[in-house]
Amino acid sequence: MKTKNLVKVLLLVMSLVAMSVAIIGCGSDDDDEVPVKKASIVGKWVFEKGITNGKTWLPTNACPAKKDYCEYFANGTLRWFAYDSDCGKVALDLKTWTIDGNTLIESKDDYTDIYTIKTLTESSMVLHWEKEYIGGKEILPDYYEDGKRDDITLYYRRIK
């Protein structure tokens, strides 16, 4: 009789422990903190659109036949390539980049942009612009240049 009761108590305790582990392990605290593999950002990316304060805007390219793009290199540098009105390719300033968790940091001299990586797959990347620093001073992301912080999300597509 005591053995049956002991087995029931052990089963009950094990069930409670299993449920506790399941509940704690399924918490949503870190759903926004998905670490990104640095190698997965390496490659060429075309800027597709931006959404600022709920309003969608599209990039303008000087050459209608070609799209400007950004290339992230494995050595931690990145460069934007634009096409002029004659469709000639122009290499813009070289920057550095690093990833820490789901944060992308891009820098050149005393200018730094900080983004949260919302999505990074083989074909798409979505960045939320968090902060901008110029000369060590924090500047608000201000797309409309009205002195107010703008909520800016940028959408990219990987190209070959």
CATH number for 70 = 2.40.128.280
Give the separation between CA 70 and CA 95, rounded to whole angstroms. 11
Q: What is the mean pLDDT of the chain?
A: 81
pLDDT band at 142 (very low <50, low <70, confident <90, very high): confident
Expressed as residue numbers, the domain containing 141 is 38-159
pLDDT tens string 28-67: 444 444 556 766 999 999 999 999 999 999 999 999 999 9
Q: Is residue 129 part of a domain?
A: yes
Q: Is residue 2 part of a domain?
A: no
Q: Is residue 7 part of a domain?
A: no
The residues near 147 (Cβ < 8 Å, ≥ 6 apart) are: 140
Q: Is residue 31 part of a domain?
A: no
Q: Is residue 21 part of a domain?
A: no
pLDDT band at 25 (very low <50, low <70, confident <90, very high): very low
**Better-scored residue on pLDDT, 100 or 38:** 100
Domain count, the chain: 1
The confidence score (pLDDT) of residue 141 equals: 77
The confidence score (pLDDT) of residue 9 equals: 41
**Amino acid letter at 55?**
K
Q: Is residue 1 part of a domain?
A: no
Q: Is residue 133 part of a domain?
A: yes
Q: Is residue 14 part of a domain?
A: no
The lowest-confidence range among 67-71, 83-87, 102-106, 147-151 is 147-151
Distant-in-sequence contacts of 91-98, Cβ < 8 A, 24+ apart: 97/41, 97/72
